[in-house]
Amino acid sequence: MRIGELAKATGATPRALRHYEQAGLITSSREHNGYRDYDERTAVRVRNIRQLLSVGLTLDDVRCFLPCLDGDMTNARPSQEGLGIARDRLAVLDARIAAQTEARDRLAAALSGLSTRA
């Protein structure tokens, strides 16, 4: 299947697919005209990659899941390594949210102080 067909089948953009390939998460062969040719099973892998990215993992995080990207990840038992990566990523997201909340609160307080003087 060509890159456009894979993109349509998975909801990923061709650019994202090239990025996944460059990151070593998917592979393709080349046709005689230089076009990428993906195996039909690559669609499952791309859907799993997109699912992991959608929950906040990074491409580096996704590498840990390479052994199970070709199967049904939603029903598979998670590995301890995968759980550790997910917990670490959750801690990073929580810290970012806390920092943003503090910044928001400081800005709201500053604006509140200005509006009482105006």
Contacts for 92 with CB less than 8 Å, ≥ 6 apart: none
What residues form DSSP beta bridges with 29?
Answer: 37
- In tens, the pLDDT along 23-77 reads 999 999 999 999 999 999 999 999 999 999 999 999 999 998 888 899 888 787 8
CA distance 76 to 10: 20
CA distance 50 to 85: 16
Q: What are the tokens at 82?
A: 């995968």
Pair 49, 22: CB distance under 8 Å: no
pTM given for the model? 0.81
Q: What are the tokens at 42?
A: 């690559």
- In tens, the pLDDT along 33-43 reads 999 999 999 99
